């Protein structure tokens, strides 16, 4: 009987999304690096292979080495992506990253704490009286979009348009099998976003707020010979990556806690574990599942010969569940020792916004744990996953909870200095705010 050749392609299927990490384990058990004839790519699932490949100079991050080979409908989008730091190699990568890295310095990120707290307060205060929420639509989407748009100094009334433009672009990035109409829509959405950003950065009647990313980019454009199209392309990258991935992280993390009430109880009892919990939840269900590389020349990778030009897909989600690095990898353990997850990448392309994502995640977790008692899935619809190989995220997560009192809704998730607030002494500190669906 002929055995089917292994392939990553089934990960698109909804029934596989429900058991994605079991599927990864099956692939990794077969081989940590194998040729996928369905995707015409090498698939790396082991942590050692993935982590070593991220810094391998023989592997390129350029996604579209030949723009003329890209379909006509997708080519305009591919041309913009090729100008972004995420899909660039040295020395261009370091130059592009340096242009905007100041906006994500520790001091700059810390300055956003109060704004994140304010946004979370408002979202929860609006939802609290109803006792219900779609975590994705009501919290996970608007919060990161608010913060990244604040960074770019985007007016409130323009933000819905940016969100609508980013969705088809993110879909195209995470799915290589879209039809011509969807690819055309993604290219047009990127064109609309760039046109908006170009106009935003040059508005004479609306100077940028001090220290905003918009102010930084405007100064770069005025004081250097920097290609304005490169600046625009990388602002678009920040808009899309800055809220899409954090949106997925918040949704995935909430679902993980709903499925692991004992772990949620532990976190409520030990709020000092929240930073470690953020890292463990990122490992457990990463918002970004893949990194793409191409061989610059023939090279050896994990004992296999990768030919020049061949694609290597580094499956971060599988590497994060590798038992060789993470014992009992399917267990959610907030005191897990050692091991570096790959959810933010590694090496030169380590996620520029990692500190911001961690801060947003920590504030959201604290808020959910302390201010929405008895949080549970509401049972009307099961959690729904988007179809993507690259991005893992929920399209919907309906939850229910007991509406808190007025005093509870006014309590901030974290104090102004960033330390966890003491738990409300009127509540049972041992009670678990996250409960599985009855």
- Predicted confidence band at 407 (pLDDT cuts at 50, 70, 90)? very low
Tell me the pLDDT tens digit for each residue of 368-403: 999 987 899 987 778 889 888 899 999 999 999 998
Report the pLDDT value the prediction gives residue 176, as an integer from 0 to 100: 67
Largest separation between any pair of C-alpha atoms in the chain: 72
308-312 average pLDDT score:
97
Report the pLDDT value the prediction gives residue 433, as an integer from 0 to 100: 38
298-315 average pLDDT score:
96
- Predicted confidence band at 406 (pLDDT cuts at 50, 70, 90)? low
Report the pLDDT value the prediction gives residue 378, as an integer from 0 to 100: 86
Is 70 exceeded by the pLDDT of residue 422? no
Q: Which two tokens stand for residue 176?
A: 């290589």
- Predicted confidence band at 241 (pLDDT cuts at 50, 70, 90)? confident
Report the pLDDT value the prediction gives residue 351, as an integer from 0 to 100: 92
- φ and ψ at 20, to 5 degrees? -60, -40
- Distance CA(437)–CA(381), nearest Å, equals 11
Is 80 exceeded by the pLDDT of residue 425? no
Q: Domain 9-84+93-435: state its class.
A: mainly alpha
Is 60 exceeded by the pLDDT of residue 428? no
Looking at 239-253, 273-287, 394-408, which range is the least confident one? 394-408
The answer to whether the CB of 28 falls within 8 A of the CB of 318 is yes
- Going along 386-431, which residue ranges are E strands? 394-396, 398-400
The answer to whether the CB of 9 falls within 8 A of the CB of 36 is yes
Cis peptide bond upstream of 87, omega within 30:
no
- Distance CA(57)–CA(82), nearest Å, equals 19
Report the pLDDT value the prediction gives residue 224, as an integer from 0 to 100: 63
Q: Which two tokens stand for residue 99?
A: 């242009």
Report the pLDDT value the prediction gives residue 226, as an integer from 0 to 100: 67
- Distance CA(139)–CA(130), nearest Å, equals 14
Question: Quick one: which of 346, 324, 365 has its CA closest to 45?
Answer: 324
Report the pLDDT value the prediction gives residue 220, as an integer from 0 to 100: 66
- Predicted confidence band at 410 (pLDDT cuts at 50, 70, 90)? very low
- Please tell me the pTM assigned to this model: 0.89
Is 80 exceeded by the pLDDT of residue 3? no
- Mean pLDDT, the chain, whole residue set: 87
- Distance CA(269)–CA(321), nearest Å, equals 26
Element (H, E) at 125: helix 113-127
Is 70 exceeded by the pLDDT of residue 298? yes
- φ and ψ at 376, to 5 degrees? -155, 160
Is 60 exceeded by the pLDDT of residue 426? no
Looking at 105-109, 200-204, 215-219, 343-347, which range is the least confident one? 215-219
Q: What share of the chain is helix, strand, coil (3-state, %, to 5)?
A: 50, 10, 35
The sign of the dihedral angle between the CA atoms of 335, 19, 186, 75 is positive
Tell me the pLDDT tens digit for each residue of 53-89: 998 999 999 999 999 999 999 999 999 999 999 999 9
The answer to whether the CB of 320 falls within 8 A of the CB of 51 is no
Tell me the pLDDT tens digit for each residue of 176-207: 677 899 999 999 999 999 999 988 887 776 77
* Residue in this structure with the two tokens 């199209």, named with its chain if needed: 229
Report the pLDDT value the prediction gives residue 416, as an integer from 0 to 100: 38
Report the pLDDT value the prediction gives residue 409, as an integer from 0 to 100: 44
Is 60 exceeded by the pLDDT of residue 108? yes
Report the pLDDT value the prediction gives residue 158, as an integer from 0 to 100: 94
């Amino acid at each position: 009987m002929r055995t089917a050749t292994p392939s990553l392609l089934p990960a698109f299927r909804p029934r596989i999304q429900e058991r994605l990490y079991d599927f990864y384990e099956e692939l990794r058990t077969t081989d940590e690096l194998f040729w996928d004839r369905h995707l015409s790519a090498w698939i790396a699932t082991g942590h050692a292979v993935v982590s070593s490949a991220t810094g391998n100079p023989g592997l390129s991050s350029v996604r579209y080495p030949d723009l003329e080979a890209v379909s006509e409908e997708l080519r305009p989008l591919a041309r913009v992506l090729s100008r972004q730091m995420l899909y660039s190699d040295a020395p261009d990568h370091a130059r592009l990253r340096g242009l905007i890295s100041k906006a994500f310095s520790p001091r700059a990120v810390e300055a956003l704490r109060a704004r994140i707290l304010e946004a979370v307060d408002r979202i929860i205060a609006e939802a609290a009286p109803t006792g219900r929420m779609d975590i994705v639509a009501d919290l996970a989407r608007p919060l990161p979009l608010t913060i990244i748009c604040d960074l770019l100094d985007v007016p409130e009334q323009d933000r819905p348009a940016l969100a609508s433009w980013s969705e088809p672009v993110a879909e195209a990035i995470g799915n290589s099998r879209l039809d011509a109409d969807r690819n055309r829509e993604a290219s047009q959405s990127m064109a609309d976003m760039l046109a908006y950003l170009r106009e935003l950065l040059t508005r004479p009647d609306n100077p940028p707020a001090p220290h905003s990313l918009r102010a930084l980019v405007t100064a770069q454009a005025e004081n250097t010979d920097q290609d304005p199209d490169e600046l625009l392309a990388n602002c678009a990258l920040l808009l899309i990556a800055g809220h899409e991935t954090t949106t997925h992280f918040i949704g995935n993390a909430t679902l993980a806690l709903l499925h692991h009430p004992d772990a949620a109880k532990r976190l409520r009892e030990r709020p000092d574990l929240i930073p470690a919990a953020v890292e463990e939840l990122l490992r457990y269900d990463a918002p970004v599942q893949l990194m793409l590389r191409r061989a610059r020349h023939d090279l050896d990778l994990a004992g296999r010969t990768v030919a020049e030009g061949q694609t290597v897909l580094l499956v971060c989600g599988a590497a994060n569940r590798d038992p060789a690095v993470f014992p009992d990898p399917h267990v959610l353990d907030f005191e897990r020792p050692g091991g570096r997850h790959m959810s933010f990448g590694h090496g030169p392309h380590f996620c520029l916004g990692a500190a911001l994502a961690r801060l947003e995640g920590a504030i959201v977790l604290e808020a959910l744990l302390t201010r929405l008692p008895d949080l549970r899935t509401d049972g009307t619809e099961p959690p729904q996953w988007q179809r993507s190989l690259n991005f893992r995220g929920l399209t919907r997560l309906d939850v229910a909870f007991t509406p808190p009192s007025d005093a509870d809704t006014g309590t901030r998730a974290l104090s102004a200095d960033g330390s966890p607030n003491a738990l409300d002494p009127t509540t049972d500190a041992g009670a678990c705010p996250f409960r599985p669906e009855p």
